[in-house]
Amino acid sequence: MKSWLTDKQNSLLKKLTIFIVLFGMVFGGCGTVDLKVRKNLDHPNIHPNTVAILPFTLAGPTPEGVPVNRLFRECFFNYFSYLGYVDVPLETIDHKLHAAGMKKYKEVLGFSSQKLRDILAVDAVIKGQVLETNNFTGGIHAETSIKAKIEMIDLRTGETLWETEHKESIYSGILSPTVVEIIQDQMDNVKVHQALYKTAEMFSIGIMMKIPDPAEVWQKEIRLPEIKSIETNLKPNQKLKPKDRIYVNLKGDAGLKGSFGIGSWKSNIPLREITPGMYSGSYIVQESDEISSALIVGTLKNAQGLTGKKFYKHGMAFIEKSSLN
């Protein structure tokens, strides 16, 4: 080796090696999430529709006792809702699990797929385990990291659909390119809760890029409840007075939850289904109502929470009040 290179060349080679290593470290930044998809989800029948994100567990102590598992779960849920799954609200999941006898988060890891399916009535669940957390600020070094294992399990088959074990770090130190960044990062890092949330956020953003998104699969099947017609007893330019009654009749899909609103002033006034597909209701104008030029809007909501709306455009509600005159 020595015979091939002169001392000068050797020195240059060493410098080049150090440069490449530094370059790689600077450009590498935080590693990307390595998500392993265990099952091909191309077929629409295979894709789970409803998903519950189970409580994340915590393996060890956390900086300043911040509940990283809860914080991470909420953050993950917020980002996960962007994907094409019907995600069950976290409060609903927790409520159902508590009702089923779960007392500690760790217990959820031991639940069988069938048991979880019975409790939550969803196609799939996401399990998360926070394995390690760190928040350190000292000298010129600052670092916050979260290491976690996250997996999606199809409750219909018990199979793991995808999984990842990843460590997300936000750090600053000798490799940070500038002094200002080092100072800024250190200032940010001492706010522990905020630093951990930011790390959880970057973890979530990273993982969302890799999780299979079935949005395209479900898009074709979406159908809002249909409202064929809406009628009211409002006349064009009619002034309403307290104790006047606004009647609303609505014709649409049968068996749904009907309601109507008066512009953005009043909403969710119930409509009763008097015959299949025919909904009726009324509202008595109150002394305290302040309504001007409001359109009546009828609403039908299905079990999935999807809502059909229709405006009545032949009359507007406005209430004659001394303050409006």
- For the bound state, the minimum distance from the C-beta of residue 156 to other proteins, rounded and expressed in Å, comes to 20
If the CB atoms of residues 67 and 84 are measured against other proteins, the closer one turns out to be 84
CB of 108 to other proteins, least distance (A): 22
Q: Closer to other proteins at the Cβ: 59 or 269?
A: 269
Q: Give whichever of 35 and 102 is closer to other proteins, judged by the CB atom.
A: 35
Q: What radius of gyration, in Å, describes the C-alpha atoms of the chain?
A: 29
Tell me which amino acid residue 189 is: N
Least CB distance to other proteins at residue 258 (A): 13
Residue 216, exposed/middle/buried by CB under 10 A (0-12, 13-18, 19+)? exposed
Question: What is the smallest separation between the CB atom of 40 and other proteins, expressed in angstroms?
Answer: 20
Q: How many CA atoms lie within 13 A of 203 on its CB side?
A: 32
Residue placing its CB nearer to other proteins in the complex, 121 or 306: 306
Give the nearest distance from C-beta 111 to other proteins in angstroms. Answer: 26
* Strand-strand pairing, 239-240 and 307-319: parallel
Residue of 222, 229, 220, 218 whose CA lies nearest to 300: 229
Nearer Cβ to other proteins (10/267): 267
Minimum separation from the CB atom of position 215 to other proteins (A): 4
Q: By CB neighbour count within 10 A (0-12 exposed, 13-18 middle, 19+ buried), where does 199 fall?
A: buried
Nearer to other proteins, 89 or 158 (CB): 89
Q: What is the DSSP string of 126-142?
A: EEEEEEEEEEEEETTEE
Cβ neighbors of 109 (< 8 A, separation 6 or more) are 57, 127, 129
**Cα(201)–Cα(213) distance, integer angstroms:** 19
